[in-house]
Structure 1
Amino acid sequence: MKKTAFLILILTACEFRIDDSEAKESLESIEIQFGDLTVDMRNIHYAYLDQGHDTMLVFIHGSPGSWSAFIDFFKADSLLNRFDMISIDRPGFGKSDFGIAEPSMEVQAYQINEVLKLFPKKQMVLIGHSLGGPVAARMTMDFPEEYLGMILVAPSIDPEMEEDEWYRKVIDTKLGAFFTPKEFEVSNDEILPLQKELEEMMPMWTHIKIPTIVIQGTEDSLVPKENAAFAKQMLPDSLLDVYLLEGVNHFIPWTHPEEIIKAIHIIVDGRSYYP
C-alpha cells in the first residue's frame, strides 16, 4: 500500500465502526439481523439479510474497516429484490474480537467460510474490497466448490506491489502502538506480513475456477492499478474481466457503488462485463 500521508489523512477521518443498533435504525424497514460464531476460539461477527433468495452476496471489508463499510448495499433495491446479503467483521475488526489481529489469509478464509456454512442452501458471490480482496481470493482457492463468483474491488493481491513502508515498523513497537489508534494497529499487524502471505498464494491461483471481476481505479494511490494487471497474469481470460475506472481512487464502494452492483448482476447472469 502506498502514499502513507494520504492514507493517514483520509482514514483518520473515517468512522470504521458503527453500533449495530445505529445501523439497524439507519436501515429503517429493512430487517437486517446480526450474528456471532465462535471459530477456533475466535468470535466472528456478521450482519445479514435473509429473505429466502437462492443467492447470497458476501461482503468482505478492507483494512481497517468493519461490516458496515457495505451498509449502503443493503439498501439497494436492485440487490434486495434478488439477493440475500451478509457482511463480515473480519478478525480483529468491528465486533470480531476487536484489537486482536489475524495475519494469516488462510485462517481468515477458513473462519469466514465457517460462518457461511450457516447458510448451506445459498449460492455465494464474494465481494472483497482492498485487503478483503486477497481474503476472498484465498477463500476461492481453499474452497473452490463453494462459490458462484468473485468480485475483487481495488484488491491488494500482487506481492510485488507491497512496499516496505517505514512507519509500519514504528507502529509495531510498544511506543508506536501506544500512540496508534487500535484500528490502525490491527491493520498494521495484518499488512506487515501481507507480502509473504500473497507470495504463498501464488501457486494457488490455478485453484480458482469461478468467474471473477476486478474493478480498479486508475488513480488509486493506496492499492496500485498494477494489481489488476496481476489478476490478468494469474487467471485465464475465460474466467476474468477487468474494469478500470478512469480517474477513480481507492474508495470505490462509496464513490462508485453502481459499478459493484453492475458486476454482481453480470456474475450471476453469466455475462461478460462489457460486450
Structure 2
Amino acid sequence: MKKSLLIIVLISACQFRVADEDARESLEDVPIEIRFGDLLVDGRNMHYAYTEQEKDVQLVFIHGSPGSWNAFIDFFKVDSLLRDFDMLSVDRPGFGDSGFGEAEPSLEKQALLIERVLSQFPKKKQILIGHSLGGPVAARMAMDFPEDFDGIILVAPSIDPSLEEEEWYRGAIKTQVGAFFTPKEFEVSNDEILALRGELELMLPLWDKIKVPTIVIQGTEDSLVPKENAAFAKRMISDSLLEVNLLDGVNHFIPWTDPQEITKAIYQLIDGQ
C-alpha cells in the first residue's frame, strides 16, 4: 500500500483533537467514569483522559504522530480492561490540548512531561503502551525512569535511527507556502519527525537501561514504519526481557485493525509478573 493511501486511511481512522464533551458522548455507555485532566508542566499544558478506580495497575497509552489521546479511546470501552486496570491516555506535546501546534521534538523532554503527568497517579504497577512515534517516547521513559514502570508494549515503533528516511516533502512543509497549506497537526508531526533520527541516535547508548519485560508488536506489511524496527529491538534489548510478535499481513494501524493483539500483550505482561 502506498504511503499516501496509508495517510488517507489514518486520517479517516482518527479524529484529531476531539473535544472532551464529544469524547464523553462517545463514552456514555461505559460503566466507569472517564475523567479528563490538565497539568501545567514547565509552562506547557498537558492534557489527558483517565480512570480512577484505585486499581493496582495503570495502563499508559502514548499515541503516534499526528494523533491525540483518543487514538486509544476504544480501549476505554473494553470491559475486561476496565475491570482489571486503571487507564490513562495523554495528548503528547503539540497535539490535542497539550499546547496544540507547539511541537516538542526532544524525546527526552516529551518523556519528562508525560512522567510528570503520571506522578499525579501513583500506582503499584504501570505498563507503557506506545504506538508509532509514541513507541520511542515510551522507550525513552523506561530509560530515564527505570524504577517507575513494570512493562512496555511497543506497537509499530519508530526506534531504529538508520531506518528514518529523508523525505523530500518534509522540507517543503517548513516553508511559508508549505505551512499555509498544511494542517497544524501535520506541521507538528513534521517538526518532530524531522528531528526523530537525531533523537533516536541520542538513545542508542541508553537501551541497556531498559530492565523490564518488553513486547514489540509489528505488522509485516507496515509501509510507514518498516518491520526491521522489530529486529532493531532484538539487537538492543536483552533476549530475556523481549518478545517480538510479528503480525503477518498487518499494516501500521494496529490499535484500530488488531486491538486484540495489544490487549493480549497487556495480559501477557501482567500474568508473567
For the aligned pair, the TM-score class normalised by the smaller chain equals over 0.9
Q: Hey, what does 1:22 align to over in structure 2?
A: 22
Alpha-carbon deviations, 1:243-264, whole Å to 9, x = none? 0000000000001000000000
Q: Structure 1 residue runs of 4+, over 6 Å off?
A: none
**2:110 counterpart of 1:111:** no
**2:82 counterpart of 1:80:** yes
Contact 1:3 1:222 in 2 (8 A): no
**2:9 counterpart of 1:10:** yes
Contact 1:30 1:75 in 2 (8 A): no
**2:173 counterpart of 1:174:** no
Q: 197, 207, 210: which is aligned to 1:208? A: 210
User: For residues 130 and 71 of structure 2, what CA distance do their matches in structure 1 show?
Assistant: 11
User: For residues 109 and 62 of structure 1, what CA distance do their matches in structure 2 show?
Assistant: 14
Q: Hey, what does 2:35 align to over in structure 1?
A: 33
How far does residue 7 in structure 1 lie from its aligned partner after superposition?
4.1
SS of the residue corresponding to residue 15 of structure 1 reads coil
Q: Hey, what does 1:102 align to over in structure 2?
A: 104
User: For residues 200 and 101 of structure 2, what CA distance do their matches in structure 1 show?
Assistant: 23
Contact 2:208 2:237 in 1 (8 A): yes
SS of the residue corresponding to residue 216 of structure 2 reads strand
1:191 is aligned with what amino acid? I
1:49 is aligned with what amino acid? T
User: For residues 189 and 31 of structure 1, what CA distance do their matches in structure 2 show?
Assistant: 35
Q: TM-score, normalised by structure 2?
A: 0.96
Q: 48, 51, 74: which is aligned to 2:50? A: 48
1:157 is aligned with what amino acid? I
1:268 is aligned with what amino acid? I
**2:164 counterpart of 1:165:** no
Superposition RMSD in Å: 1.3
Aligned residue-pair number: 270
1:51 is aligned with what amino acid? Q
Contact 1:46 1:86 in 2 (8 A): yes
How far does residue 27 in structure 1 lie from its aligned partner after superposition?
1.2
Q: Hey, what does 1:150 align to over in structure 2?
A: 152
Contact 2:32 2:82 in 1 (8 A): no
Q: Which runs of 5+ in 2 are unaligned?
A: none
Alpha-carbon deviations, 1:98-146, whole Å to 9, x = none? 0000000000000000000001234110000000000000000000010
How far does residue 50 in structure 1 lie from its aligned partner after superposition?
1.0
Alpha-carbon deviations, 1:217-256, whole Å to 9, x = none? 0000000000000000001110000000000000000010
Q: Hey, what does 1:185 align to over in structure 2?
A: 187
Contact 2:138 2:152 in 1 (8 A): yes
User: For residues 145 and 76 of structure 2, what CA distance do their matches in structure 1 show?
Assistant: 26
1:200 is aligned with what amino acid? L
Q: Which runs of 5+ in 1 are unaligned?
A: none
User: For residues 6 and 164 of structure 1, what CA distance do their matches in structure 2 show?
Assistant: 19
User: For residues 42 and 124 of structure 2, what CA distance do their matches in structure 1 show?
Assistant: 24
Q: Hey, what does 1:254 align to over in structure 2?
A: 256
2:36 is aligned with what amino acid? F
User: For residues 155 and 3 of structure 1, what CA distance do their matches in structure 2 show?
Assistant: 19
2:223 is aligned with what amino acid? S
SS of the residue corresponding to residue 47 of structure 2 reads strand
User: For residues 30 and 81 of structure 1, what CA distance do their matches in structure 2 show?
Assistant: 9
